[in-house]
Structure 1
Amino acid sequence: MVDQWQPDVLGEPFEQLTLPLGEDDQGPVVATLVRSRAHAAPLGGIFGDHRSLHDIDVLYVHGWSDYFFQRSLAAYWTDRGADFYALDLRKYGRSLRPGQTPGYITNLATYDEDIAAALAAMGRTIDDSSNGRRLVLLGHSTGGLVLSLWAAGHPGASDALILNSPWLEFQLNAVARTAVAPMVGLQARLRPLDTLPQVDFGFYTRAQREARGGEDLDVNLEWRPEQTMAVHAGWLSAILAGHTRVAAGLHIQEPVCVLLSEKSAVPSRWSDELTRADTVLVVDDIARASLRLGSSVTVERIPGALHDIFLSRPDARDIAYERLDRWVMGCLGTKRLPVSPGQYA
């Protein structure tokens, strides 16, 4: 499988690997794994690699109406010795094939197949960590929901979970979700491909562009349109089912770090406020839902951040990376001394 790695659209040092996943009623299905590996440590062959994250593999999963293109996020990890992998899920980005409904799925558990294929390509198995490398899961928005559910279903398979504005609760709060879910579920059973109404003026994409000083995002607009992809009943029903599981508590064993903007803003009309807030999620609701992920959860609120924390204005982005680094180095970057029972009584 190593021989099948190909140059990626992001250019050096990124490569991509197509992961066949069989077929569904829309034809052949694939996922795509993108990688950027850490450079060899100077004199590492003689003295060993002593970089803090030299034994870590990172697996990133993107959000809704999205794909992986964040070069700088990968560089943060590879600069510290980690190998970085990003998964374009089936029917997203690099994995989208002609005739497929973008992003469409009716059960989030189906993504277990995508993740299993990615781990195999990384030289890992779900239940065996004998390769001596730790696994960090990193998810944005819907990808954060997907990875949270996966981590809950595969205890011990990863070493940490980092979530960038994870979509853990419906925007209209838990009460609305409970009321809406049965109606959406019925529609999903009868007409799963029905398109549901939504309002998107493209302000979130504009806010990201403004955060970069007006520069283009340098993305493929077929894979990441300026206005979100169509929402279908079957897909939304799967999302709401995921939210319901989070609300019931996931009991994730591994430490979790959740990065969120300090505030939300409603994108009903354009204003500069939209460049310094999450215009997709209600961040206070997400902060509360985060505490149901497990018993070791850190919530970092980033002032002035967008929905994708790492695409925010430079000041907010710098704070985000500083907070991320503090958590990563404290949790993963040093070898901890074991604490014996009663040692500090």
Structure 2
Amino acid sequence: MTVWREDVLGAGFECTDLELGSDSEGPLVAALVRALPTPRGLWERILGRERSLEDVDVLYVHGWSDYFFQRQLAEFWTSRGARFFALDLRKYGRSLREGQTPGYIEDLDEYRVEIELAINEIRESQDPAATRRKLVLLGHSTGGLVLSLWAHKHPGYADALILNSPWLEFQLTGTVRQVVAPIFNLRAKFSPHDLALQADLGFYMRAQQQTCSPQELNTINLQWRPERAHAALNGWMRAVLLGHARVSEGLSIDAPVAVLLSKRSVLALKWSEDMTRADTVLDVGTIAEAALRLGDCVTVCRIDGALHDVFLSSPEPRAEAYAQLERWLIGWQAATRHNA
């Protein structure tokens, strides 16, 4: 029986550890966080009123140099009746142990272990007498890449895939990736733990400091989510580029996919106020094009003024991101009911 403990986010959140074995740096775990919807009131039950996502479970996976801390995102789902779960992948956030290299992995497919353990936990916690609950995978940035590759290899598991600024291609173009990939392949072979690049100038965090409320930022653990991203090492960079190459070749995800992106990018070496209204991490045009290679049913939603994490943008684009998500979910649910 799974033992849940109080999470660092406090009331309404619990977490548990998923054991993953060990590697050269020691024992490996992934942390699974959950937030459950409040039970329906007496009159709601008497009148048979159901919230819109009563039969949905959500599994969220964070991006690079990140972890799950977004209470408002969880509230969006639980207020509509969904059960919300979030994974801190091995060596990230709640899963990071002393002596481990933050976020380091040499093959993105290795994440299948914690993803599948999390899904098993989600399914085993369902009421066996109730109708099967739908599974929605929700990924941000590198987490979006990880979930896209997993969904491609595991058809029939997810009922929908929602991606928040997924890192589906190297910055600028696939041509640049093809040029730099052999360099990282060689470096990864001989010095996988050496620094590949460190291009984060802290602009993304600075933009969030201007767009997010103090309550959101005050709870962030800066060891888990530093102002400048963790160092990207050769072995990890090679794994990401191989993932990009697989997306470029085309995936066949069988679930409908929604991709939420900022309308524009600002990739510069000097701070400007424009960075509070744009993606400062990825080239969103390149990502929008790459998204169309994920499967046969892909919706791309562009949000004016959004940051790299569209749900951490300033109030107006953030509200638009949630509105776009809700509209997509309404259509998705109507389609699933029609096909049932």
Q: What TM-score does the superposition give when structure 1 sets the normalisation length?
A: 0.93
Partner in structure 2 of residue 280 of structure 1 = 281
Which residues of structure 2 form unaligned runs of 5+? none
Shift of 1:332: 2.2
Shift of 1:116: 1.1
- If each structure's helix is expressed as a fraction of its own residues, which one has the higher value? 2
Q: Amino acid of the residue matched to residue 132 of structure 2?
A: G
Matches within 5 A, 1:109-148: 109-124=109-124, 132-148=132-148
Distance in 1, Cα, partners of 2:334 & 2:7: 29
Change (3 A) 1:216 1:147: closer
Partner in structure 2 of residue 261 of structure 1 = 262
Partner in structure 2 of residue 180 of structure 1 = 180
Indicate the larger mover: 61-70 or 213-222: 213-222
Is the 8 Å Cα contact of residues 209 and 216 (structure 1) preserved in structure 2?
no
Matches within 5 A, 1:198-277: 198-212=198-212, 217-218=217-218, 219-277=220-278
Residue 194 of structure 2 is aligned to residue 194 of structure 1: yes
Change (3 A) 1:179 1:335: closer
Q: Secondary structure at the match of 1:336?
A: helix
Partner in structure 1 of residue 27 of structure 2 = 28
Tell me the percent identity: 56
Matches within 5 A, 1:149-168: 149-168=149-168
Q: Secondary structure at the match of 1:199?
A: coil
Q: Secondary structure at the match of 1:54?
A: coil
Q: Amino acid of the residue matched to residue 246 of structure 2?
A: R
Q: Amino acid of the residue matched to residue 68 of structure 1?
A: F
Distance in 1, Cα, partners of 2:28 & 2:334: 37
Q: Secondary structure at the match of 2:132?
A: coil
Which residues of structure 1 form unaligned runs of 5+? 340-345
Q: Secondary structure at the match of 1:332?
A: helix
Partner in structure 1 of residue 61 of structure 2 = 61
Q: What TM-score does the superposition give when structure 2 sets the normalisation length?
A: 0.94
Residue 100 of structure 2 is aligned to residue 100 of structure 1: yes
Is the 8 Å Cα contact of residues 92 and 102 (structure 2) preserved in structure 1?
yes
Partner in structure 1 of residue 17 of structure 2 = 18
Q: Amino acid of the residue matched to residue 53 of structure 1?
A: L
Partner in structure 2 of residue 39 of structure 1 = 38
Q: Amino acid of the residue matched to residue 17 of structure 2?
A: T
Distance in 2, Cα, partners of 1:49 & 1:139: 30
Change (3 A) 1:329 1:228: same
Shift of 1:183: 1.5
Change (3 A) 1:77 1:334: farther
Q: Amino acid of the residue matched to residue 13 of structure 1?
A: G
Shift of 1:272: 0.7
Q: CA RMSD in A?
A: 1.9
Number of matched pairs = 335
Shift of 1:50: 1.9
Is the 8 Å Cα contact of residues 88 and 94 (structure 2) preserved in structure 1?
yes
Change (3 A) 1:5 1:213: closer
Distance in 1, Cα, partners of 2:90 & 2:165: 21
Distance in 2, Cα, partners of 1:51 & 1:335: 16
Distance in 2, Cα, partners of 1:154 & 1:200: 33
